[in-house]
Amino acid sequence: MPEDPVVMYPLVIGGGEVVDANGRRRADVAIATDGTIAAVGDGLAAARTLDASGCVVMPGLVDLHAHLREPGGEDAETIASGGRCAVRGGYTGIVAMPNTTPTVDSAAVVRQVLDAGRDAACEVVTAAAITVGRAGETLSPMGELADLGVRLFTDDGTGVQDGRLMRRALEYGRGLGVTLAQHCEDAALAAGGHLHEGEWSARLGIAGQPAEAEELMVQRDLALARLTGARMHFQHLSTARSVAMVRAAKAEGLPVTAEATPHHLVLTHACCAGFDPVFKVNPPLRTDADVAAVRAGLLDGTIDVVATDHAPHPPQAKERPFDLAPPGMLGLEVALAVIHSELGAELGIEGIVAAMSVRPARIAAMAHQGRPVEAGEVANLCVFDPEVTWEVSAEDTMSRSRNNPWAGRTLTGRVRHTIVAGCPVVEDGSCVRD
Amino acid sequence: MKHLLDVADLGGRDGIEDILTLTDRFVEVSNRPIPKVPALRGRTVAWLFYENSSRTRLSFETAAKRLSADTANFSVGVSSVNKGESLRDTARLIEAMGADAVVVRHSSSGAPHRIAEWVDAAVVNAGDGWHQHPTQALLDSYTLRRHVGALDGRRIVIVGDIKHSRVARSDVDAFTTLGAQVTLVAPPTLLPASLEGWPVTVSHDLDAVLADVDVVVVLRMQRERMTEALVPSLREYTARWGITVERAARLHPDTIVMHPGPVNRGVELDAAVADGPRSVIVDQVRNGVAVRMAVLYRLLGHAGATDEEQIDA
């Protein structure tokens, strides 16, 4: 008597626990040759199996805030190297920030970034600048760029200082159905400040920037969101009062979203005590009370998204004195492990999936990211071992840079495999893509 | 003590007292007909001055020569800082040259601390940004001891641009460690944003605190502060926070006046007061050499020999 024909899938992620927006279940995930999920269930047979025992199989992470430095800053990072960092950290989709040289403010540069992104290890889309050259003076050709697929506009690195111009950008963007994102920083109040103005700036004798430099622009932009009815995303919120203002705005019903970085959820300005510019970042690391408030904001949903603000700088740039070094720190490779180690107990894997995959995918309008782990969906997956402990090393990186503030820390949980559009790009923690 | 980066590196009261006691001996050496001892023969002290400073540089150089150390100058211009030259490259250079100590002056706070992480040589902070100037605090403490005795319970006012002053930060650390009560006097714009953890009292009214003090440390008021709207004008600054002849006349007869130099005569300190009987400014400069001899000796002295063998030889 002939046996029933057994379906052999080309690839199965076997033995893990699937977690997505629909909850948790033990299941194997089979991948079809076209890169979609063919089946989710028990005992799926495959030509090749990736072991996920003890692991969580979740939708691949999405980063709303990655500085890939290309074009212009290829000594620090490229779209290819940044993409490899991303997949090693479990990301399957990332949004490139437009503060490159030249700025991503024209169709030509958008095309250049998207072209390079097509060869990257994960899906790369780009944000574009709100104003030409991020100079805060004239609007970029937002409609033309939206036609090329840009869904997020930001002058990140600086905030749009002119309230009238920001109002126009929000109104115009609303008509295009795009989202404007703001790096909230009042340039005049923040000018010359290299860390949070407070106890540590005073002790170390380094000019600080007050929390109010961020808060003033959060306040203004909430007013403009109310005025225009436009969707508005607040980048890397870092102060207690910023979180409180966004919480109140959401309660009022304004269509705003917000992100926080792993470093603002964990590290404080006391990290700067040794003058190591690896801890220099913008907005600066703040106080214990601010960290507590940002964490509370993430837990109660005021902060929708954890975004990395991955900001590579080559070693020599950080081998300067604190005030002369550029701000920014790496994040893509460790963000998930940091959040799981620090906030896993409170957020749960479900909360992490929401904040690091589902919601950022929605804000970035990435159709095939942050989706349920179900048959028919594009197989963008992160397989995460929540138990393993490991020590972060600045040298063990896919980045061209080494400015990793987490180096030397022991974290719990690490990405085992990453699948992008059905292809394993990370296996057993190692990137298998050029 | 491996490096002297902050006053805290001296190891508290005992460490400061040790340097001050040692300074007595180097004052004696400096008064000899031939003011030179072989203590640091064969040692090399390198200068790494990223910021112009003829006074501190001269003081350290005199100290090193009186100790018979060899000196080497890495003349780094201000321009190389502005070009963003890697501090680590400079540290590598120092290592290659085999300097035993490197004396660093930098306009950026923390620059000597970074260098200290990368070199085997002892690093002496000769002033970093607004942060620390530990040998100035030592020479101020030494000068005070000579003029008013032990600092325990002494009332010291530091007046002026505290916010941007490495001298103020170091003096506060040293004076309070030695038991003095320190009051900072400045307009709020010239005070640090936070004084959390500073063992001081603060006043914005100089006249209210001057009646009852043993020492007034006057800080230099830099003209560039005018462009930052920190005070309306130098004229107003002098009227409210300057040690004018009239204010000096209201001080207790024994109150002394100090200034780290160079003095903006007529701005923070009237010329007649700077040159008058209360002023110990010249003593500060003189003691600076002996204090720096003591610091270099402590960092570089030969472990196998006693102080007597090395200093009194």
pLDDT digits (tens, 9 = 90+) for B133-158: 999 999 999 999 999 999 999 999 99
Distance (Å, whole) CA B229 – CA B227:
6
- In chain B, which residues have their Cβ closer than 8 Å to the Cβ of A284? none
CA nearest to A203, candidates A284, A133, A269, A281? A269
Q: What are phi and psi of A125, to 5 degrees?
A: -115, 170
Does the CA dihedral A270-A275-A278-A284 come out positive or negative? positive
**Mean pLDDT, to the nearest integer, of A374-397?**
98
* Res. A4: pLDDT tops 60: no
Cα of B213 vs its chain's centroid, Å: 21
> Which helix (H) or strand (E) is A199 found in, with range?
helix A199-204
**Mean pLDDT, to the nearest integer, of A97-121?**
98
Distance (Å, whole) CA A176 – CA A230:
10
- In chain A, which residues have their Cβ closer than 8 Å to the Cβ of B194? 197-199, 201-202
Residue A416, pLDDT score: 98
**Mean pLDDT, to the nearest integer, of A13-39?**
96
Who contacts A225 (Cβ-Cβ below 8 Å, separation ≥6)? A170, A231, A232, A249, A254, A255, A256
Residue keyed to tokens 């929540």: A386
Tell me which residue in A275, A317, A324 faces B81 most closely, judged by beta carbons: A324
* Res. A398: pLDDT tops 70: yes
DSSP letters for B206-233: HHHHHTT-SEEEEPP--GGGGGGTSSS-
Q: How many Cβ atoms sit within 10 Å of the Cβ of residue B171?
A: 30
Q: How many Cβ atoms sit within 10 Å of the Cβ of residue B313?
A: 9
The whole-model pTM stands at: 0.95
Q: What are phi and psi of A305, to 5 degrees?
A: -135, 140
CA nearest to A302, candidates A354, A244, A358? A244
CA nearest to A221, candidates A177, A173, A178, A181? A181
In this predicted structure, which of A368-377, B172-181, B299-308 has the lowest mean pLDDT?
A: B299-308
- What counts of helices (H) and strands (E) characterise chain A? 13, 21
Residue B307, pLDDT score: 84
Q: pLDDT per residue over A57-87, tens digit each?
A: 999 999 999 999 999 999 999 999 999 999 9
**Residue B14, class by beta-carbon neighbours within 10 Å (0-12 exposed, 13-18 middle, 19+ buried)?**
exposed
B195–A202 C-beta distance less than 8 A:
yes
Determine contact, residues B257/B269, Cβ cutoff 8 Å: yes
Q: Which band of pLDDT confidence, cut at 50, 70 and 90, is reported for residue B91? A: confident
Distance from CA of A188 to the nearest CA of B (A): 12
A319–B86 C-beta distance less than 8 A:
yes
- In chain A, which residues have their Cβ closer than 8 Å to the Cβ of B169? 203, 205
* Res. A1: pLDDT tops 80: no
* Res. A2: pLDDT tops 60: no
- In chain A, which residues have their Cβ closer than 8 Å to the Cβ of B6? none
Assigned token pair, B127: 């002033």
Q: pLDDT per residue over B232-262, tens digit each?
A: 999 999 999 999 999 999 999 999 999 999 9
Distance (Å) of CA A88 to CA A12, A92, A348, B64, B302: 20, 9, 21, 54, 53
**Orientation angle between helical segments A288-299 and A240-252, nearest 10 degrees:** 30
Q: How many Cβ atoms sit within 10 Å of the Cβ of residue A374?
A: 14
**Mean pLDDT, to the nearest integer, of B78-103?**
79
Tell me which residue in B108, B169, B195 faces A324 most closely, judged by beta carbons: B108
Residue A181, pLDDT score: 98
Tell me which residue in B85, B87, B109 faces A205 most closely, judged by beta carbons: B109
The b/e string for A170-208 (b: 16+ C-beta within 10 A; e otherwise) is bebbbebebbbbbbbbbeebbeebbbbbbbbbbbbbbbb
Distance (Å, whole) CA A125 – CA A109:
12
Distance from CA of A84 to the nearest CA of B (A): 28
Q: Which band of pLDDT confidence, cut at 50, 70 and 90, is reported for residue A360? A: very high
Catalytically active residues of A, by annotation: 309
**Mean pLDDT, to the nearest integer, of B20-34?**
95
Residue keyed to tokens 């009062």: A241
Distance (Å, whole) CA A292 – CA A288:
6
**Mean pLDDT, to the nearest integer, of B163-187?**
98
Question: What are A's interface residues with B at a Cβ cutoff of 8 A?
Answer: 197-199, 201-206, 208, 210, 274-276, 316-317, 319-324
- In chain A, which residues have their Cβ closer than 8 Å to the Cβ of B84? 317, 320, 324
A206–B110 C-beta distance less than 8 A:
yes
CA nearest to B104, candidates A308, A174, B117? B117
B197–A204 C-beta distance less than 8 A:
no
Q: pLDDT per residue over A401-410, tens digit each?
A: 999 999 999 9
The b/e string for B274-286 (b: 16+ C-beta within 10 A; e otherwise) is beeebbbbebbbe
Q: Compute, in degrees rounded to 10, the torsion defined by CA atoms A319, A320, A323, A326.
A: -60
Side-chain-facing half-sphere of B160: CA atoms under 13 Å: 28
Residue B313, pLDDT score: 61
> Which helix (H) or strand (E) is A348 found in, with range?
helix A335-353
CA nearest to A94, candidates A144, A60, A58, A56? A60
* Res. B302: pLDDT tops 90: no
A198–B193 C-beta distance less than 8 A:
yes
Q: Could you tell me whether strands A305-306 and A208-209 are parallel, antiparallel, or unpaired per DSSP bridges?
A: unpaired
Q: What is the mean pLDDT of chain A?
A: 97
Tell me which residue in B81, B108, B193 faces A322 most closely, judged by beta carbons: B108
**Orientation angle between helical segments B12-30 and B134-148, nearest 10 degrees:** 70
**Residue B261, class by beta-carbon neighbours within 10 Å (0-12 exposed, 13-18 middle, 19+ buried)?**
middle
CA-nearest residue to B112 within chain A is: A321
Residue B97, pLDDT score: 86
Cα of B68 vs its chain's centroid, Å: 23
- In chain B, which residues have their Cβ closer than 8 Å to the Cβ of A317? 84
Q: Is B149 left (phi over 0), alpha (psi -120 to 50) or beta?
A: left
B84–A324 C-beta distance less than 8 A:
yes
DSSP letters for A6-71: PPEEEEEEES-EEEETTEEEE-EEEE-TTSBEEEEESS-EEEEEEE-TT-EEEEPEEEEEE---TT
Distance (Å, whole) CA A209 – CA B34:
53
Q: Which band of pLDDT confidence, cut at 50, 70 and 90, is reported for residue B95? A: confident
A205–B128 C-beta distance less than 8 A:
yes
A198–B81 C-beta distance less than 8 A:
no
Determine contact, residues B219/B167, Cβ cutoff 8 Å: yes
Assigned token pair, A222: 């909430």
* Res. B2: pLDDT tops 60: yes
Q: Could you tell me whether strands A23-26 and A17-20 are parallel, antiparallel, or unpaired per DSSP bridges?
A: antiparallel
Tell me which residue in B108, B132, B194 faces A199 most closely, judged by beta carbons: B194
- In chain B, which residues have their Cβ closer than 8 Å to the Cβ of A320? 84-87, 108
Assigned token pair, A370: 């942050």
Distance from CA of A207 to the nearest CA of B (A): 9
Cα of B179 vs its chain's centroid, Å: 18
Cα of B1 vs its chain's centroid, Å: 18
Tell me which residue in A198, A274, A322 faces B194 most closely, judged by beta carbons: A198
Residues of chain B numbered 105-134 and touching chain A (CB < 8 Å): 106, 108-111, 113-114, 128-132
CA-nearest residue to A208 within chain B is: B193
Question: Which parts of chain B fold into alpha helices (H)?
Answer: 12-30, 54-66, 78-82, 87-97, 111-118, 134-148, 166-177, 206-210, 234-241, 245-249, 271-274, 281-300, 307-311
Assigned token pair, B157: 């006012």
Distance (Å, whole) CA B294 – CA B124:
12
B166–A201 C-beta distance less than 8 A:
no
A interface test, pick of B104, B106, B108, B119 with most A CB neighbours within 10 Å: B108
Q: Compute, in degrees rounded to 10, the torsion defined by CA atoms A147, A148, A150, A155.
A: -100
Total CB pairs under 8 A between chain A and B: 76
| Residue A209, amino acid | Q
The b/e string for A9-24 (b: 16+ C-beta within 10 A; e otherwise) is bebbbbbbbbbbbeee
* Res. B85: pLDDT tops 80: no
B197–A203 C-beta distance less than 8 A:
yes
B89–A321 C-beta distance less than 8 A:
no
DSSP state of A76: T
Residue B304, pLDDT score: 79
Q: Which band of pLDDT confidence, cut at 50, 70 and 90, is reported for residue B222? A: confident
For residues A58 and B51, which has the higher predicted lDDT (pLDDT)?
Answer: A58
* Res. B43: pLDDT tops 70: yes
- In chain A, which residues have their Cβ closer than 8 Å to the Cβ of B114? 275-276, 319, 321
Q: CB pairs under 8 A, 24+ apart, for A50-53?
A: A50/A11, A50/A12, A50/A13, A50/A14, A50/A383, A50/A417, A50/A419, A50/A424, A50/A427, A51/A14, A51/A15, A52/A13, A52/A14, A52/A15, A52/A16, A52/A383, A52/A416, A52/A417, A53/A14, A53/A15, A53/A16
